[in-house]
Structure 1
Amino acid sequence: MIKIAKNNLLPEDANLILNDVVPKHEFNIHMGTSIKNLQELAEALEIMDNDAFKHHVTKEKNDFSNWVKDIIEDVELSNDLLKAKTRKKAFETVSQRIEQLEKLKSGLVVKDKTNFFTDRFLIGLIFGLALGFVISAIINNLV
């Protein structure tokens, strides 16, 4: 299970999120259609009537958000779908996420370099301190 959070996505993760789910985990929409990936979810949200949407999204539940979290394993999209109270907003949310994932999958998204350099700096700092202690111990033993 990948349980992907917002800033930890790799191109491989994007590919997994966009792939088809196994048949037993397909989402069965109230109007009779089965959905096996995010693209099909977006297409269904675009054409379904509001009554079908309201069957899956109420004050008490959001079947789309639950499926995305539990089966697709995209926590960010799941959280965004919880905020989408209309069919149109849910469609836009899923479509934007697909676009973001496609860009990441193709390598067009630039990673946050601040985190990269901060991580490398901390690793270098720790390594430098450890090396300093080792050299200091060696010098003290020689003197």
Structure 2
Amino acid sequence: MSAYKKMLVSIDLTEEAPQVLEKAKAMSEAHGASLLLVHVVEPVGYAYGGDIPMDLTELQDQLDKAAREQLAAYGDTYGVDKAHQVVAVGRPESEVHRLVKEHEADLVIVGTHGRKGFQLLLGSTANGILHGTQCDVLAIRIH
């Protein structure tokens, strides 16, 4: 019996995502587990702190659409069905925690740059996911 049945892979859609996806795909095959491919788009208002007095809905919609298209391309490349691809809007840590519960994932796979010193004190998405999720977390070192 495998230790993991459902693996949630949280990626940031940068050129570094394939490093995480390659390892996640290998892990899922080794464990006979399914993959849930996740990307979280932060609300545009977070970036600007609400300082811009304008409707950012159209910009947010464009970001969401672009994220869905890019996630779908990764899904096609790594054999993850559209039903197992999720683009969420919110804080990455909170959304991953929510999706772990919602989809009953037993492993979260994320990429990390392995920062040290002052950068580590600032925190990271991977660290935020680790501290608060109810399942195992595997951090893939990005080179």
**TM-score normalized by structure 2?**
0.29
| Greater strand proportion | 2
Task: Identify the structure with the greater helix proportion.
Answer: 1
* Structure ranking higher on relative contact order (CA contacts 8 Å, 6+ apart): 2
Rg larger for: 1
TM-score, normalised with respect to structure 1? 0.29
